[in-house]
């Protein structure tokens, strides 16, 4: 390992490496973070845009895992840039599959103003996440408020560049 080699990786990066089979690691950043902590990998908190309270955790894999990662990254130096695409500067975003469907433009006057452009795949993920988070918090809301909540979270996640469980958590925690 050279002195210029990266030895610290975010949970998003570890999850991306797990997705392509470089390391045996979970494919979601949340599960990757949990596994790195469970394996008691050395960690540090670094400032970032959009992370929890402006910080994110980075982990240092053990030597044998680090060697595998370094070897892969030498052969694929722009792996993280290509893998994350537009969201490369947003480590808090959970990547979701790119939709081949076109964005729906709704013309109904009865819809809220933020419902003018919907990403169908993102909406799918938001709806599932809202249901799971409501269940986790033991909350129930009427269908109209739930629909408004889903549209609002969709809009925020779309602006953030992808599905973000932290956004869902914040919105659901303030629902009645």
In angstroms, the CA 79 to CA 56 distance is 20
In angstroms, the CA 45 to CA 48 distance is 9
Q: Is 168 exposed, middle or buried (0-12, 13-18, 19+ CB in 10 A)?
A: buried
Chain-centroid distance, C-alpha 33: 12
Place of tokens 């949990």: 34
pLDDT in tens, the chain (176 residues): 454 568 899 999 999 999 999 999 999 989 999 999 999 999 998 887 766 677 888 999 999 999 999 999 999 888 888 765 534 444 444 555 555 555 555 555 565 555 457 778 888 888 898 888 888 888 888 888 888 888 888 888 877 777 888 888 888 888 76
pTM above 0.75, yes or no: no
3-state secondary structure of 27: coil
In angstroms, the CA 136 to CA 172 distance is 10
What pairs with residue 10 in β-bridges?
58
Pairing of strands 104-105, 9-10: unpaired
- The answer to whether 147 and 123 have CB atoms below 8 angstroms apart is no
Q: How far is CA 82 from CA 79, 100, 164, in A?
A: 5, 18, 20
């Amino acid at each position: 390992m050279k002195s210029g080699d990266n030895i610290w990786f975010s949970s998003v990066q570890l999850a991306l490496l797990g997705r392509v089979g470089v390391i045996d690691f979970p494919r979601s950043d949340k599960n990757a973070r949990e596994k790195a902590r469970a394996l008691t990998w050395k960690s540090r908190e670094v400032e970032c845009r959009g992370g929890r309270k402006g910080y994110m955790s980075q982990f240092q894999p053990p030597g044998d895992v680090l060697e595998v990662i370094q070897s892969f990254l030498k052969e694929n130096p722009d792996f993280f840039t290509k893998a994350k695409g537009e969201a490369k500067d947003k480590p808090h975003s959970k990547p979701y599959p790119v939709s081949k469907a076109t964005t729906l433009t709704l013309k109904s006057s009865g819809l809220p103003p933020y419902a003018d452009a919907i990403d169908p795949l993102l909406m799918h993920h938001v709806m599932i996440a809202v249901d799971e988070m409501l269940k986790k918090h033991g909350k129930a809301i009427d269908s109209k408020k739930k629909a408004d909540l889903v549209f609002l979270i969709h809009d925020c996640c779309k602006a953030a560049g992808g599905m973000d469980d932290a956004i869902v958590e914040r919105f659901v925690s303030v629902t009645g």
